[in-house]
Each structure stands twice: as C-alpha cells, then as structure tokens.
C-alpha cells in the first residue's frame, strides 16, 4: 500500500471525516492519544483483543487491558515500515534507529564501548561495473558521453551524447541503447552482490593478515572485521554499498586491540580485496561478478571527528577532501538511504504476481526492462536458486537494505525494545508499570489504515508536528552547544545531501 499524495482539506470526504471526529471533545482526546501511541503511523494496523499481566511470583492478575475501552474499539499498532514512500512516520523512526546503530559503532554508546572510536575504521563506497553506456550527470567534462568519432551501435543508436544532464534529469541512468545493454548480467549482479560482499570481507582479512605478516588463523584469533553497510540503488538500477568497516580485537568486549593494525593498512587491504574478489555468474552465463572500478575508501578519524581522504582508486564526484565529514554526517548519510525504495515513486515496494502488474504501477523504460529481465531469468530452471521472480521488484537484489556484522553495534531489535521500555516507563497506564510479570494477550487483526480520510489528515498533521518538535529540540541542542563554546570544535554539520553521488556508466 503506497502512501498517496497528502490529503487535502478541500476534499469533501476529509472534511466530513474531520467533523465526525471532532464532534465530541472527550472521544477526540482519546483518538489523539491513540494516534500518539502509534507514532501517527499513516497506515496503522487495527487490532482487537485484550491482554492480561500476571505477577509470576504470586500468580495474581496485576492488570488487564482491553481494546473495548478505546472509543474506536481497537488498538492501533504502527506499520513499522522502513520505506518513506509507504509511511513517512514509521520511516522517520527507522531512520533515527539507523542513525543510532551506525553512530554507536563509530564512537560507542548503547552498550558499545567508547574504545571502538580508537579502532582503525574506514568509510567506503563499493560500486558495480558497467553493463553498457548510460546517460550520466555531472561527469568531468560536463557532457554525458563524449567520444572522438561519432559511432552507432548495430541497432543504429548513437553511442555518444553531448548533452549536459542535470542530476534529476529522468534520462540519467538510462542506457544509450537498451538492446546493447547487458540486462541479464546487471540483474544477476544485483542478485549476487551480497555474496560478493561476503567474499570481500574474507579477502580483506586475508590481505590484512598478509600485511601484518601473520597467518589467516593467527589473524582471526587476534582480530575481527566489523561492519555496517547500506545498499543504495543507483539510477541505472544496480545496487552499490556504503559501508563503515572497523578492525576490532577478537575479544568479546572489543577491548585490547593489538596495536599493529592501522587505518591505512585497512584501506590497502580493502583496495586489494576489491580488485581480486569474484563470484562466477550462474547458469550459462560466462564471466565473473566483480566490483566496478569506482571504489572510494576513506579513513575515519574520530579524534578530530573528521574523515580525511586517504585513498581513492578513481577520481569522480566524490566529496571534496577539505569539506570534512563528521561521524554524525556518516550516520546521517547512511540513514538517508535506509528509508529509500527501489524506485523514487515506491511503485516497486511490493513483489509482483505477474508482469502485467507493471502496467498498473506505471513502470516503464529501463527500470521496466530490469524487472522484466529478472522475471524472465527467474523462469529458467538453472537459475531457480536465485529466486529472481520473488525478487523481480527489487531488480534481483535480495539482501536487506542495512546489514551489519554481529559485533559492529546494537541491533534494530535492541533499539525497538529500548524505545518500548521507555514508552512503558513514561506511560501512566497502571498495567504497564509492573516489571515482574508476564503479559498474556489475545489479539486479532481487524484491518489496516485509518477509518476515514479525515483521520488520515489528522495523522499527517500529527506526524508533521512530531517532526517539527524534533527539529526544534535539535536546534535548541545546537544553541546549548554553542553557548558552551563547543560549536567550533565539533565543526559544522555537513549536509549529507551534498555528498550524494550517482555514478554513471
């Protein structure tokens, strides 16, 4: 279910819904509380039932709650999606969690020792290779695809483009010739890039062992590679990864890191691993899945809270090294991608039942060819294990948007549980204040979404107010910091959107 354009007060249904909801102050107040409790989710799940809390030591019922006590007769539960196209409210909660998850791995916190900040760490972007010439924005020459001799492909299409495309030009990422473009390998690359990543981490460990002059086994006994990464779709429909990679000691508490390793060593190991690692294409496809030439690896210096550019295999529209990027900016940068969909419109948020679904969803051009290719390949018995029809809507990619190794930092589950515990603590409802007990519940799904477009309008308003108060809180935090004279040492908060790069070709 995609969240459509905002509801409007000019809509008669919205007005009627609002009037109905506001006719009685007391029930409106209860409705407002329900909305706040589900974080003003745009598509809440409606549940009916009851739960009882039992004191485990005495067997006594300490409290009970029934949805019948609500004016609407149901309990509202947030949909909890990460995709902003589906529910901006829940996506903002997810992005906030993603930010914390990344930051605690960069500088400690949430149970992660602060000592991780001193471990060798890098921020790296891994890209896919070329599957055919595509229209590009903002390359070095300012032109899309310039060549000396004007040539045409066998399909009669020009193999050059002299235009200067703006970044938001819809043509960016589209192939110069769709018939020349290697759609099959592009889809299979998406399908296998998670395996390529897994092998890269193994290769990087091998390279590090070699740099340290020790065996692989000795390296694994002393060190561990921890990481968190986010997958982002480039405009050409292939995934690339942004990752924080950290060297830890192989101990449980991450302490006592042997001093021999360093960030430049990690950069060198990753660069070598990326150049060597491959995964064979499956089925009848020849060749190997490998990384593209555009790799960007930067050391992260927590001491100054800045990233300094140490190595880059290619020069492209990477952020200026002088611009600096704080650990907070890295977290924001990764969180920004955490709520994105396969396509900007969210038309590919759900899986497909058949290719005709694409007509209803308005998917055309290059993106459609990617989906169609995944669907076609998914029908081949030799590629059955890739489950490409199931993942046609994600253009073959079947990994999670954000993944992390076990020791990098806390999990989303941990952060959700922590938030829930906080809500319970702050709640005045008696049944949730007892800690030594067990809750037994019996709940049934009765529906999804708000009752009327008027209610949805109120949810949108509630979500807007929530985000405005968050902004105000952040601003007052900045003012506090400035008054303490810390603004100069922490630097300006780099706008992560300025670091956005979509690589052509």
| Residues in contact with Zn ion by the rule CB under 5 A | 41, 78-79, 87, 90, 135, 144, 153, 155, 157, 161, 163, 177, 179-180
Q: Could you give phi then psi for residue 333, rounded to 5 degrees?
A: -60, -45
Residues facing residue 230 across a β-bridge: 242, 402
CB 86 within 8 A of CB 79: yes
Task: Give me 359's structure tokens.
Answer: 């007509």
Closest distance of CB 447 from Zn ion, Å: 14
CB 67 within 8 A of CB 442: no
Q: How many C-beta neighbours within 10 Å does residue 220 have? A: 14
Residues 6+ apart with CB under 8 A from 270: 122, 124, 200, 204, 207, 245, 295, 297
Closest distance of CB 466 from Zn ion, Å: 12
Considering the complex, state which of residue 87 and residue 187 has its C-beta at the smaller distance from Zn ion.
87
Considering the complex, state which of residue 40 and residue 123 has its C-beta at the smaller distance from Zn ion.
40
Rounded distance between C-alpha atoms, residue 349 and residue 1, angstroms: 8
Which region, left, alpha or beta, applies to residue 108 given φ > 0 means left and ψ of -120 to 50 means alpha? left
Considering the complex, state which of residue 146 and residue 351 has its C-beta at the smaller distance from Zn ion.
146
Considering the complex, state which of residue 144 and residue 395 has its C-beta at the smaller distance from Zn ion.
144
Length of the chain: 505
Rounded distance between C-alpha atoms, residue 180 and residue 198, angstroms: 30
Considering the complex, state which of residue 90 and residue 196 has its C-beta at the smaller distance from Zn ion.
90
Considering the complex, state which of residue 180 and residue 311 has its C-beta at the smaller distance from Zn ion.
180
CB 114 within 8 A of CB 108: yes
Closest distance of CB 164 from Zn ion, Å: 9
Closest distance of CB 161 from Zn ion, Å: 3
Closest distance of CB 219 from Zn ion, Å: 44
Closest distance of CB 403 from Zn ion, Å: 22
Residues facing residue 307 across a β-bridge: 300
CB 298 within 8 A of CB 270: no
Closest distance of CB 460 from Zn ion, Å: 12
Rounded distance between C-alpha atoms, residue 191 and residue 429, angstroms: 48
Closest distance of CB 340 from Zn ion, Å: 16
Instruction: Please give the torsion angle defined by the CA atoms of residues 428, 432, 435 and 441, in that order, rounded to the nearest 10 degrees.
Output: 180
Closest distance of CB 236 from Zn ion, Å: 12
Rounded distance between C-alpha atoms, residue 395 and residue 193, angstroms: 12
Considering the complex, state which of residue 2 and residue 163 has its C-beta at the smaller distance from Zn ion.
163
Considering the complex, state which of residue 78 and residue 289 has its C-beta at the smaller distance from Zn ion.
78
Q: How many C-beta neighbours within 10 Å does residue 4 have? A: 8
Rg (CA), the chain: 26
Considering the complex, state which of residue 42 and residue 397 has its C-beta at the smaller distance from Zn ion.
42
Considering the complex, state which of residue 84 and residue 383 has its C-beta at the smaller distance from Zn ion.
84
CB 69 within 8 A of CB 50: no
Closest distance of CB 143 from Zn ion, Å: 8
Which region, left, alpha or beta, applies to residue 252 given φ > 0 means left and ψ of -120 to 50 means alpha? alpha
């Amino acid at each position: 279910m995609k969240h459509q354009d905002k509801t409007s007060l000019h809509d008669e249904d919205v007005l009627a819904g609002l009037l109905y909801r506001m006719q009685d102050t007391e029930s409106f107040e209860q409705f407002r509380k329900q909305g706040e409790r589900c974080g003003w989710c745009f598509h809440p799940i409606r549940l009916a039932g009851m739960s009882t809390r039992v004191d485990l030591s005495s067997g006594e019922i300490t409290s009970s709650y029934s949805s019948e006590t609500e004016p609407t007769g149901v309990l509202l539960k947030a949909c909890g999606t990460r995709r902003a196209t589906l529910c901006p409210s829940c996506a903002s909660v997810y992005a906030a969690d993603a930010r914390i998850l990344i930051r605690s791995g960069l500088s400690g916190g949430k149970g992660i020792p602060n000592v991780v900040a001193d471990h060798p760490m890098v921020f790296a972007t891994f890209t896919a290779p070329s599957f055919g010439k595509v229209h590009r924005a903002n390359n070095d020459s300012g032109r899309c695809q310039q060549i000396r001799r004007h040539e045409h492909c066998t399909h009669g299409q020009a193999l050059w483009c002299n235009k200067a495309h703006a970044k938001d030009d819809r043509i960016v990422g589209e192939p110069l010739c769709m018939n020349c473009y290697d759609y099959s390998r592009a889809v299979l690359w998406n399908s296998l890039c998670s395996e390529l990543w897994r092998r890269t981490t193994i290769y990087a460990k091998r390279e590090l062992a070699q740099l340290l002059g020790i065996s692989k086994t000795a390296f694994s006994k002393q060190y561990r590679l921890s990481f968190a990464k986010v997958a982002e779709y480039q405009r050409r429909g292939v995934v690339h990864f942004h990752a924080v990679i950290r060297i830890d000691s192989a101990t449980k508490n991450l302490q006592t890191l042997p001093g021999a390793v360093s960030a430049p060593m990690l950069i060198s190991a990753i660069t070598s691993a990326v150049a060597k690692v491959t995964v064979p294409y499956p089925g009848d496809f020849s060749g190997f899945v490998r990384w593209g030439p555009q790799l960007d690896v930067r050391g992260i210096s927590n001491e100054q809270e800045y990233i300094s550019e140490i190595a880059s295999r290619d020069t492209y529209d990477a952020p200026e090294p002088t611009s600096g990027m704080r650990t907070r900016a890295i977290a924001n940068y990764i969180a920004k991608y955490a709520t994105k969909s396969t396509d900007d419109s969210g038309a590919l948020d759900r899986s497909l039942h058949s290719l005709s679904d694409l007509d209803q969803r308005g998917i055309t051009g290059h993106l459609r060819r990617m989906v169609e290719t995944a669907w076609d390949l998914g029908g081949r018995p030799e590629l059955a294990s890739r489950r490409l029809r199931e993942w046609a809507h994600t253009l073959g990619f079947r990994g999670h948007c954000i993944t992390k190794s076990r020791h990098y930092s806390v999990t989303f589950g941990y952060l959700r549980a922590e938030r829930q515990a906080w809500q319970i603590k702050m709640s005045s409802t008696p049944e949730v204040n007892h800690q030594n007990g067990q809750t037994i519940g019996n709940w049934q799904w009765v529906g999804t979404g708000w009752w009327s477009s008027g209610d949805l309008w109120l949810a949108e308003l509630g979500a807007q107010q929530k985000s405005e108060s968050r902004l105000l809180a952040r601003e007052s935090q900045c003012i506090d910091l400035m008054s303490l004279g810390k603004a100069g040492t922490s630097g300006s908060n780099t706008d992560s959107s300025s670091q956005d790069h979509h690589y052509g070709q």
